[in-house]
Structure 1
């Protein structure tokens, strides 16, 4: 069960394909808009309401993208929007139950936005595992939860994760209590997304490379850092226009912000086009869902709707993106320098992480993006040999990892159930 934009769905699809290759029937329960994406990869699909995602297309949703600068602010904004999105959350919980009742799973893996999953697993009597794309909920003394200041005090660091879980609880607990009552489950004293009703911790998988984020030494055994879950499109054939553009000159810079657009996408488009010209670079612009739509482009810039990152990124001089977990992972694996233009949520944290690893210049928040700042970052990303070497080295390391295989091994260890099946 996962919910969100494509970046919240694709890693689970990759893990699902790995499980399917082991002989299992896998169903992805997610927003209805992704049905074709899921079924085209041969996995089962269970629809969840699109209404929550549609909020991002409203003026209020776009304003949130403009003015929410980090993950902590996103959690507070989520709580503040409860009066508006409450009915949508209730519908999403009901859809999660319908998906589980239709498939009768032996195991449920869930994204935090599908927070009814532990109650559903309890009712069905099956194991449940929380699957995260970032270190968000497991306390550690090593570092605070993203967006919190690092005071270099272990007690403070651990407390930040507990606070994040409390904020999620404020958003979700009403609907969890309601659904437990409707489905005949006993009352839960306090809802905690990372714990079962009796207070036992729920196992947690992190789809992040340990080479990028080494697991903290004080993590419990039920928290695992498996490595990235990549969905490779090995049989993809590029359109002739894209192939011709790539062959016509030096490697271009990729610019794409996924589903992020904010309130003024045209401003971003013009800044990107002008900056590429100032830096003397060719570019490939991906428009994405509601993203860049430049009306007139010079011959040095090629526009695409989308292309698999595993095919496209290694062919680029640098990768410019919004700092989503999935796109960051793909750029790291490609071994290319990056420029991160974060919008909201966890994106500023990933931008800072990429910069700290020496893979990029300092991130530029999208509200502060100008052609001059962007051109300067592009020159540094494509001309700094230190950045290029660091990106190439880490990319080579990540390419040797198999996060899906490790996640399957972790699932076996965490549930005590072997997932290997005979060909029969």
Structure 2
């Protein structure tokens, strides 16, 4: 059997699907090592994975001044990718060394597009590799890149060009530290200004129910469906179970690893909006701040909680969006940056929730109005329920294993 290394860069929403994939591959007898921030070691251990820690912590990064500037950049690709370069540039040499060290003895490398680490280390070791897409990242004429929505005004050519432009920008920003590392540490030649790896295998871990597959995507891109990490043995604390049993289903509000600049003000807005909308709530926060109408939780598996809610409000990360849609819960997305606005737009286009409410425009009346619409509109509830049934019928992990089989032989 193969020894597989999966790069789980980023926050929990990026890491958890990788853990789910690793556990599924491990069930087929493969040895799997997850490379991720040290804070995710317990998550990997519970899934039976090997673990190689990275010394950069995404939570600390987002709390920093540079991280707050990144969150404020919205979906502008120049600000988004430039912000990543400013943050990761000083850490690049150390992180690249940690990643390379974790791959000793590997037979297959899997990881995200950003930085394309599987490609560089795979070439160095002479082993196969494949990329993971958490959002649409392959050029198509059907729709624009999630970061460049206005490109659709130029039609199919503009849509396709938007993907190439974002890819080229990402490479130009990472090239100054990737190419020296390729030469110095990997013994590989530098890559040119225009750089592609279009023929390599790609796993797109999102559902065709949410993003219909474009006809012009190549066969080497396997659109597997979502990779969910279920925790069926998880037991809720008694006070949470009692709160859920003591009234109608609540509305969940949480922004994951996003760190609002004024967390106290955000909490007041959320709690006031819940009261104005006339609903009970479960919020992400300090359990000691709970009251009879709002229950605060720190870490509850979405797979357990979301099916027990009347609606979910979140930042629109790919993983959280997937969990809400799978649960059949009406969804309100309050995006911060990156691909989050795109997922909010997809939710609204599918009729499973209202139009997204950008976090920077979060107010009590706006949030309360969207919560009321989500819990009172039977059409939204019906569409969310039907969408959830379709997603639950998919088996993204089985499809991912099938797509990887040619590389695992």
TM-score range, shorter chain: over 0.9
For structure 2, the residue ranges without an aligned partner over 5 or more in a row are 1-6
Task: Check conservation: 1:2, 1:113, Cα contact below 8 A.
Answer: no
Distance 2:313 2:43 in 1: 24
Distance 2:288 2:268 in 1: 9
Report SS of the residue matched to 1:151.
helix
Q: Does 1:62 align with 2:74?
A: no
- The match for 2:315 is 322
- The match for 1:76 is 79
| 1:97 aligned to which of 79, 96, 100 | 100
The change in CA–CA distance for 1:408 and 1:253 in structure 2 (over 3 A counts) is: same
Distance 1:231 1:131 in 2: 16
Report SS of the residue matched to 2:74.
coil
Distance 1:80 1:28 in 2: 25
TM-fit CA distance, 1:82:
3.7
TM-fit CA distance, 1:171:
2.1
The change in CA–CA distance for 1:81 and 1:245 in structure 2 (over 3 A counts) is: closer
Q: Does 1:265 align with 2:263?
A: yes
Q: Does 1:128 align with 2:134?
A: no
TM-fit CA distance, 1:173:
1.2
Task: Check conservation: 1:269, 1:294, Cα contact below 8 A.
Answer: no
Distance 2:372 2:86 in 1: 46
- The match for 1:390 is 383
- The match for 2:240 is 242
| 2:51 aligned to which of 28, 41, 45 | 45
TM-fit CA distance, 1:75:
4.4
Distance 1:43 1:331 in 2: 26
Task: Check conservation: 2:70, 2:79, Cα contact below 8 A.
Answer: no
For structure 1, the residue ranges without an aligned partner over 5 or more in a row are 288-292, 419-424
Distance 2:100 2:402 in 1: 27
Distance 1:84 1:258 in 2: 20
Report SS of the residue matched to 1:302.
strand
Distance 2:340 2:50 in 1: 30
Cα displacement string for residues 120-143 of structure 1 (whole angstroms, at most 9, x for unaligned residues): 10111111100111112x111111
CA root-mean-square deviation: 1.8
TM-fit CA distance, 1:177:
1.1
The change in CA–CA distance for 1:259 and 1:51 in structure 2 (over 3 A counts) is: closer
TM-fit CA distance, 1:262:
2.1
- The match for 1:157 is 159
TM-fit CA distance, 1:242:
0.5
Distance 1:309 1:185 in 2: 43
The change in CA–CA distance for 1:237 and 1:295 in structure 2 (over 3 A counts) is: closer
Task: Check conservation: 2:277, 2:369, Cα contact below 8 A.
Answer: yes
Task: Check conservation: 1:28, 1:43, Cα contact below 8 A.
Answer: yes
Cα displacement string for residues 261-283 of structure 1 (whole angstroms, at most 9, x for unaligned residues): 22111111001110111111011
